[in-house]
Amino acid sequence: MGSRFFLFIATITNLLLSCATPTEDPDLLKIALNSNNSKIRNVMDSLAKHELQVRYTRIDRIKDSIVFTDFNFQVNDSNYFYPASTVKILTALLALEKLNEMDSLDLYTQFYVEGDSLETTFACEISKIFAVSDNEANNRLLEFLGQDRINKKLKDKGIAPVRISHRLSTDNAFEVTTKPLIVYLNDTTLTWLKPSVNNPPVPLDLNRIKKGRAYYEENALVNEPFDFSLKNYFPISTQNEVLKRIIFPEQFPKNKRFNLSPDQHRFLLKAMSDPPRKIGYDEMDYYDGYCKFFMFGDTRDTIPEYLKIYNKVGNAYGTITDCAYISDSKNNVEFILTATLLANENGIFNDNSYEYETIGLPFLAQLGREIYHLEIAQKQRQ
């Protein structure tokens, strides 16, 4: 990152000292959101239109225990935002679980979805989900699982509120019958995994479920708010809880964890943290920050090896979101950060005119840097 990345550590240290006495527990999220940096102020000075929600989780290690302390800004499960590709973390996790229930399948089993031209493996599709947020990879795993199974498994683990109702960016998004998978048991033997029939989604009854002033449908402008009531639902609090279960499974009872083998867990953590270049993508197009919005979303800088970001991002319909566990082994810093905001200045949905590059990504990247620097400054005080 170089000296430019750490330019403001001294300034932030002074800010910490001015905002808290030695006996106080400073709210680093509040300090970060009060930053005078223009990338933060562009959102904070217009909160109503950006629908910002943020949760920062401080992580304290005390002997053999881990203590989470959550700090929230406008987090409200009843205020709907479109989760976009963040839901892919759920299909990846539950696909891994289902593989554990099937003696003949594993991460590297080759398969294809009926009607699909691509033969692939579960490992490959999960890697693509995290490296470049591939929609087709997510949809292939959804055909393997089905919406009802996803929702039931999450409910059984006490992960709520959440609702998965559709595939992503495809004409058959809301089809309730999944497509069968054709699986290679070996070089010469194929088997057919039968499809599942799922329940159609029930409309969500939430605040802000209708957004904007107009939307496009089949190239025609419809002058009324866009209705998200049948869409996926994956609020900030639930994303945060899912990530805690992935990174710190031992902090939860066994029946609340994701049932992953040690090899699967290691694979998942690597997939979540590796930048696209590490699995063969051209780094000119898929730079390190391509799916790492916090800290690196507005830059093409290379992420140093001592800094690991385990996350899942999403952006669609002008909403941009990241949920990340950030760990710095050099400075002994770790925290969880989850944030979402709306960057849709004209209030029209489906027109592909959103302020991701000018508002959304700069805010998330700077917020990540602010919290990161504050964590380092606090560590230096201890």
Domain boundaries, the chain: 2-381
Quote the percentage of the chain above a pLDDT of 90.
Answer: 91
All residues at 6 or more sequence positions from 86 whose CB lies less than 8 Å from its CB, including other chains: 234, 239, 312, 313, 314, 321, 323
What's the pLDDT band for 8 if we cut at 50, 70, 90?
very low
Residue 28 in tokens: 């680093």
Q: What is the pLDDT of residue 187?
A: 85
What's the whole-number average pLDDT of the chain?
94
Top pLDDT among 3 and 215 is at 215
What's the pLDDT band for 21 if we cut at 50, 70, 90?
very low
Q: Rounded to 10 degrees, what is the CA torsion of 232, 237, 238, 240?
A: 120
Q: Rounded to 10 degrees, what is the CA torsion of 284, 286, 290, 292?
A: -110
Q: What is the pLDDT of residue 25?
A: 66
- Bridge-based pairing state of the strands 214-217 and 348-349: parallel
Tell me the pTM.
Answer: 0.93
Quick one: average pLDDT of 159-164?
98
Task: Count other C-beta atoms under 10 Å from residue 272's C-beta.
Answer: 25
Classify each residue of 223-249 as buried b or exposed e, where b means 16 or more C-beta atoms within 10 Å of its C-beta.
eebbebebbbbbbbbbbbbbbbbbbee
Quick one: average pLDDT of 14-38?
72
What are 267-280's pLDDT values in tens digits?
999 999 999 999 99
Least Cα distance to 291 among 323, 268, 264, 266 occurs for 323
Above 50 in pLDDT, residue 22?
A: no
Quick one: average pLDDT of 90-117?
96
Handedness of CA 267, 270, 276, 277 (dihedral sign): negative
All residues at 6 or more sequence positions from 312 whose CB lies less than 8 Å from its CB, including other chains: 85, 86, 88, 89, 129, 130, 133, 239, 272, 291, 322, 323
What's the pLDDT band for 134 if we cut at 50, 70, 90?
very high
Q: What is the pLDDT of residue 23?
A: 38
Q: What is the 3-state secondary structure (H, E, C) of 152-219?
A: HHHHHCCCCCCECCCCCCCCCCCCCECCCEEEECCCCCEEEECCCECCCCCCCCCECCEECCEEEECC
Residue 56 in tokens: 């920062």
2-381 CATH, one of 3.30.559.10, 3.40.30.10, 3.40.710.10, 3.40.1160.10: 3.40.710.10
What's the pLDDT band for 19 if we cut at 50, 70, 90?
very low
Please give the Cα distance from 155 to 164 (Å, whole number): 12
Please give the Cα distance from 242 to 302 (Å, whole number): 27
Please give the Cα distance from 241 to 93 (Å, whole number): 13
Top pLDDT among 271 and 381 is at 271
At position 170, the amino acid (one-letter code) is T
Q: What is the pLDDT of residue 301?
A: 97
All residues at 6 or more sequence positions from 285 whose CB lies less than 8 Å from its CB, including other chains: none
Q: What is the pLDDT of residue 18?
A: 43
Quote the percentage of the chain above a pLDDT of 70.
Answer: 93
Q: What is the pLDDT of residue 24?
A: 53
Q: What is the pLDDT of residue 381?
A: 86
What are 297-316's pLDDT values in tens digits?
999 999 999 999 999 999 99
Please give the Cα distance from 295 to 371 (Å, whole number): 9
Q: Note whether 179 and 114 are within 8 A (CB).
A: yes
What are 52-64's pLDDT values in tens digits?
999 999 999 998 8
Work out the end-to-end distance of the chain between its first and last CA atoms, rounded to an integer number of angstroms.
Answer: 24
What are 183-239's pLDDT values in tens digits?
999 888 999 999 999 999 999 999 999 999 999 999 999 999 999 999 999 999 999
Q: Which residue has the tokens 């289902």?
A: 98
Above 70 in pLDDT, residue 281?
A: yes
- String of DSSP letters for 228-247: -TTS-B--HHHHHHHHHHHH
Handedness of CA 143, 146, 149, 151 (dihedral sign): positive
* Gyration radius of the chain over CA positions: 21
Q: Note whether 68 and 57 are within 8 A (CB).
A: yes
Please give the Cα distance from 14 to 318 (Å, whole number): 36
Classify each residue of 145-162 as buried b or exposed e, where b means 16 or more C-beta atoms within 10 Å of its C-beta.
bbbebbbebbeebebeeb
Residue 18 buriedness (CB in 10 A; 0-12 / 13-18 / 19+)? exposed
Quick one: average pLDDT of 350-354?
97
